[in-house]
Amino acid sequence: MADQQTSDAPTEFDAFDAFAAKNALNGVGVVKDPYPRLAELRSQCPVHQGSVSARFDLPGADRIIAAEDEQASVYTYQGVDAVLRDAASFSSSWYRMSIGDVIGRTILEMDPPEHRRFRSLISPAFTRREMDRWEHGFVRGIVDAYLDRFRADGRADLAADFAFHYPIHVIAVAAGLPVVDLPEFYRHTALLTNVAVSQDERLAASRDLGAMVQELIDARRAEPADDLIGVLVRARLNDEDWDGASDRQLTDDEIVAFLRLLVPAGAQTTYRAITTVLYGLLSHPDQLAAVRADRSLIPQAIEEGLRWEVPLLAVGRTAVRDTVVEGCPVRAGQHVNAPVAAANHDPSRWERPDEFDIFRTPVPHVSFGVGPHVCLGIHAARMEMRVALDLLLDRLPGLRLDPDTPCDGVTGLGLRTAVRLPVVFDTP
């Protein structure tokens, strides 16, 4: 069980509502099933000129970032895989335009060799061993505390009451944030990359979040600690080539930017992924029963859930030279959308790709990306999802969708989420 310090949940600010406009921009609640259209596009041609959102007649982040004739979109597994592995042709500088202004400069927008060196400074904070420490130090306690809030009611909305809060709470505690600051942290994180609010509001949230993190950095520089910021403050790279210096540490600005990145990259993705895995199981009661009976099936349920409904439709790159993807030309300077959702439903790799089936033969998916930028938080995400499923099944016996409350399931284009997950369960 977590102590009060880590498990108290913030209540003062309804970050869930602040998210509604961001969701609307990304087609959440509007696009129910994008996969037939993605399949149609894929069968016409592996690569199309223009954004993905325009093909669905929707607004979307890709249409805000670049004009239609300045972008191309890749719809096959092989094409997406090739783009993400080829950092020499496809630069991650794309992210400078999409989120760099509010986040700051991070590994997400760097290219090799700078990216590799920088990433190796940060990666010790995200090893399996570190995640083991997170799990038993505070993650299980945080989940327990949320479940305690509604366990006696026999019903809950697992999206709004649980999944939405849990991963951002984990990041806050991992960073060493005092519990009294959690509501403020929530407020800033809900606005930070929310393109549905004004640029001024986003930049203000970015500054305020930065100031909170700076206080933690100052404290860790004065007195070492084993939390995430403590690990980042101590990280050291001995590399003669690095900026011409032989002994390189992260600067305060770099740590602040990295913490800001963890909000969209680490917390919001995991929140959405938890809702979709849960919806996959709840809407397939036979598979849920199998997992309840045999918890060793949890990892494959998570991987199938991630393949079936990846939380982020696409990642982006900028072509730095004229090149060819799947036989189709891509011009230097074009923004390239790599929809991992389309790749994960490519019938040349998966039979019945649109079905949720935890018993299918496992084949790697691209929900965590691939190549040099493959998700740094992959062990964190898998651990958080495993702990959530395990404790939900332990503590909410008879867990099932509420037959009396309609549930839209997973919706969205740019982002895929089950915004509401009304469930009932047996009370103690």
Q: How far is the CB of 369 from ligand HEM (least distance, A)?
A: 3
Q: Please give the torsion angle defined by the CA atoms of residues 277, 279, 283 and 286, in that order, rounded to the nearest 10 degrees.
A: 30
Q: 3-class SS at 224? A: coil
Of 201 and 252, the one with the shorter C-beta distance to ligand HEM is 252
Tell me which DSSP letter residue 336 carries. Answer: E
Other CB atoms within 10 Å distance of the CB of residue 222: 7
Q: How far is the CB of 339 from ligand HEM (least distance, A)?
A: 11
Of 318 and 424, the one with the shorter C-beta distance to ligand HEM is 318
Distances, alpha carbon 190 to alpha carbons 165, 235, 339, 384, in Å = 11, 29, 24, 20
Of 108 and 319, the one with the shorter C-beta distance to ligand HEM is 108
Q: How far is the CB of 225 from ligand HEM (least distance, A)?
A: 18
The residues binding ligand HEM (CB under 6 A) are 84, 92, 107-108, 119, 261-262, 265-266, 269-270, 273, 311, 315, 367-369, 373, 375-377, 380-381
Q: How far is the CB of 162 from ligand HEM (least distance, A)?
A: 15
Q: What are the percentages of helix, strand and coil residues in the chain, rounded to 5?
A: 55, 10, 35
Q: Please give the torsion angle defined by the CA atoms of residues 366, 368, 369 and 374, in that order, rounded to the nearest 10 degrees.
A: -140
Of 270 and 287, the one with the shorter C-beta distance to ligand HEM is 270
Query: What is the maximum alpha-carbon separation in the chain?
Result: 65
Of 86 and 239, the one with the shorter C-beta distance to ligand HEM is 86
Of 122 and 212, the one with the shorter C-beta distance to ligand HEM is 122
Of 143 and 424, the one with the shorter C-beta distance to ligand HEM is 143
The span from the CA of 316 to the CA of 90, in Å, is: 9
Which residues, other chains included, contact 336 with Cβ-Cβ below 8 Å and sequence gap of 6+? 71, 72, 73, 74, 83, 90, 94, 316, 317, 318, 319, 325, 330
Of 100 and 154, the one with the shorter C-beta distance to ligand HEM is 100
Q: How far is the CB of 57 from ligand HEM (least distance, A)?
A: 25
The span from the CA of 398 to the CA of 427, in Å, is: 9
Return the exposure string of 23-39: e unless at least 16 CB atoms fall within 10 Å of the residue's CB, then b: bebbbbeebeebeeebb
In the complex, residue closest to ligand HEM by CB: 377
Q: 3-class SS at 75? A: coil
Q: How far is the CB of 200 from ligand HEM (least distance, A)?
A: 26
Q: Taking a C-beta distance cutoff of 8 angstroms, is the pair 168, 186 a contact?
A: yes
Q: How far is the CB of 211 from ligand HEM (least distance, A)?
A: 21
Q: How far is the CB of 326 from ligand HEM (least distance, A)?
A: 18
Locate 294 and state its tokens: 């045999």
